[in-house]
Amino acid sequence: MKKLLIASTSTIHGGSYLSYLSNELDEFFEKVETVLFVPFARPGGITHDAYTEIARKGFSSLGKNVVGLHEFRDVSKAIEEAEAIFVGGGNTFLLVSQLYKNEVMTPLRSAVLSGTPYLGSSAGSNITGLTMQTTNDMPIIYPPSFKTLGLVPFNLNPHYLDPDDQSTHMGETRETRIREFHQFNNQPVVGLREGSWLRVAGDEIVLKGKLSARIFEQGKDPYELSSGNLLEF
Amino acid sequence: MKKLLIASTSTIHGGSYLSYLSNELDEFFEKVETVLFVPFARPGGITHDAYTEIARKGFSSLGKNVVGLHEFRDVSKAIEEAEAIFVGGGNTFLLVSQLYKNEVMTPLRSAVLSGTPYLGSSAGSNITGLTMQTTNDMPIIYPPSFKTLGLVPFNLNPHYLDPDDQSTHMGETRETRIREFHQFNNQPVVGLREGSWLRVAGDEIVLKGKLSARIFEQGKDPYELSSGNLLEF
């Protein structure tokens, strides 16, 4: 049975790395000693080593070891043998490019479908959806495809931001962008606000965290899903 | 001699379509009767006809006619014979996909290099740069390439937004995103704030409008360029 935590962000304002998720992570990774970390999204362009060190610190308070995927020669085997996987945030175009380049998209999908627990934050959450086309990131690198893991039957928009009525800025709001997406694509989009996450157990998907999520379906007005509720389309 | 106006936006807060640019447009399009409008970026997913109508209204106060590129069977010929060209904003991924699909990237570049005046706003400005990789838009469609017109020797970031010190939102700032871009790409990036534009005459590029622009060069700290100054790398 597939088990995922799909988090909007790794860190909420005023908190430390993953701290807002610590209770959930304790339970989710209960039987896990070592988490395999995928550092490919490189937030702010930091190195794989530096990023893995951040994840290592974050997980040390939970009593878990962390190893970086970049430390393995046979990345496919590393994924296959992992007790649990965490794909960190950063730039989604870079992450997806690297997943294709290193040929880990398929083994990653297989591992999660066969029950390896998967934690994603931000870009690492984006790739659990059908495509990466509702990312907020800049296209700093050209990936061979926008198709992602398809572990859930929709797309994600992490760090979802409500339109600011007070703003004088004329750039598009997040809602406008997702409406444009639905001119060309028909999968639903789940806008996850900061501090929200989805817990996936098989086909059951629950929204967790303090805030509601904003759901966009093609041809419908967007609507809110309250925390604690099942996500169903 | 190439002549371009590269505007951050079509509309500033409280103004009407193109109104903040009207003096500049009067001069820039002085000898032009009819402007060829490229509506491919479809802001908010509106139709080519609806978008062309917006451009038509915006230009009517300047006494100019507007025709939409989508109204022509031979788009290549329409561009070649145009007195002036305006590429409107919207989604850059969509715009670039359509420009490649309709095979107008090359004729568009040739027309501007041979002197046809070119106005771009937002997405229409993005494509004057070397690549579209510093767009803020969502990747709602997969373009065959990120390469764009290369009419200026840098990339654009329209609607440039300064980091908000008061924000508790943990998504990346524009500056962080551009720093990530420079991990993998070496062309300079010009962050154009709302109400700013570049006027290009041959190799001379001047910043216009009330605000300064933020310039990002690989390996350097970002810096400000004041309005009225030449852009030189």
| Active-site residue identified among A122, A125, A182, A196 | A122
pLDDT tens-digit readout, B197-210: 999 999 999 999 99
pLDDT-based confidence at residue A34 (cuts at 50, 70, 90): very high
Whether B13 is a known active-site residue: answer no
Taking the C-alpha atoms of residue A121 and residue A74, their distance in angstroms, rounded to an integer, is: 24
pLDDT-based confidence at residue A27 (cuts at 50, 70, 90): very high
pLDDT-based confidence at residue B14 (cuts at 50, 70, 90): confident
pLDDT tens-digit readout, A142-156: 999 999 999 999 999
Torsion of CA A132, A133, A135, A136, to 10 degrees: 150
Whether A159 is a known active-site residue: answer yes
Report chain A residues whose CB lies below 8 A from the CB of B184.
94, 140-141
pLDDT at A186: 97
Which residue in chain B has the smallest CA separation from A17? B170
pLDDT tens-digit readout, B114-143: 999 999 999 999 999 999 999 999 999 999
Asked if pLDDT for residue B172 goes beyond 80, the answer is no
pLDDT at B186: 97
Closest partner CB to B139 (pick from A132, A168, A178): A132
pLDDT-based confidence at residue B40 (cuts at 50, 70, 90): very high
Quick one: tokens of A221?
């007005």
pLDDT tens-digit readout, A154-203: 999 999 987 766 666 656 788 989 999 999 999 999 999 999 999 999 99
pLDDT at A206: 98
pLDDT at A171: 66
Report chain A residues whose CB lies below 8 A from the CB of B144.
none
Pairing of strands A213-216, A34-38: unpaired
Choices 3.40.50.880, 1.10.760.10, 1.20.140.10, 3.90.870.20: CATH for B3-225 = 3.40.50.880
Taking the C-alpha atoms of residue A138 and residue B172, their distance in angstroms, rounded to an integer, is: 10
Whether B159 is a known active-site residue: answer yes
Please state the φ and ψ torsions of residue B215, each to the nearest 5 degrees.
-110, 130
Q: Within 13 A of B217's CA, how many CA atoms are on the CB side?
A: 9
E strands, A88-203, in order: 118-121, 155-157, 189-191, 197-201
Mutation pick from A16, A98, A138 vs chain B, by most beta carbons of B within 10 Å, is A138
CA dist B57 → A53, B51, B64 (Å): 56, 10, 10
In 3D space, the residue among B212, B21, B11, B47 whose CA is nearest the CA of residue B122 turns out to be B11
Using the structure block, give the residue that is written with the tokens 């609806």: B50
Neighbours of A149 (CB within 10 A): 24
Asked if pLDDT for residue B167 goes beyond 90, the answer is no
Q: How far is CA B113 from the centre of its chain?
A: 16
Say what percent of chain A tops pLDDT 70: 97
According to DSSP, residue B175 is labeled H
Asked if pLDDT for residue B163 goes beyond 80, the answer is no
pLDDT-based confidence at residue B170 (cuts at 50, 70, 90): low
Quick one: tokens of A132?
């990466």
Mutation pick from A17, A140, A186 vs chain B, by most beta carbons of B within 10 Å, is A140
Asked if pLDDT for residue A13 goes beyond 90, the answer is no
Domain boundaries, chain A: 3-225
CA dist A232 → A153, A182, A190, A203, A211 (Å): 10, 18, 11, 9, 18
CA angle B159, A165, B179 (to 5 degrees): 30
pLDDT average, residue stretch A17-33: 93
Say what percent of chain A tops pLDDT 90: 85
Q: ipTM for the complex?
A: 0.91
pLDDT at B140: 97
Mutation pick from A10, A172, A176, A194 vs chain B, by most beta carbons of B within 10 Å, is A172
Estimate the crossing angle of helix A92-101 against helix A105-113, to 10 degrees: 90
Contact B160, B9 (CB under 8 A): no
Q: CA of B69, closest CA in chain A: separation in Å? A: 21
pLDDT tens-digit readout, A53-95: 999 999 999 999 999 999 999 999 999 999 999 999 999 999 9
pLDDT average, residue stretch B201-228: 96
pLDDT average, residue stretch A35-57: 95
Taking the C-alpha atoms of residue B187 and residue A202, their distance in angstroms, rounded to an integer, is: 46
Indicate the range of A113-122, A128-137, B7-16, B222-231 predicted with least confidence: B7-16
Taking the C-alpha atoms of residue B152 and residue B159, their distance in angstroms, rounded to an integer, is: 18
pLDDT-based confidence at residue B11 (cuts at 50, 70, 90): confident
pLDDT-based confidence at residue B44 (cuts at 50, 70, 90): confident
Q: Which residues of B touch A (CB under 8 A)?
A: 9, 11-14, 42-45, 90-91, 93-94, 132-142, 145-146, 159, 161, 168-172, 176-185, 194
pLDDT at A228: 97
pLDDT at B166: 67
According to DSSP, residue B117 is labeled -
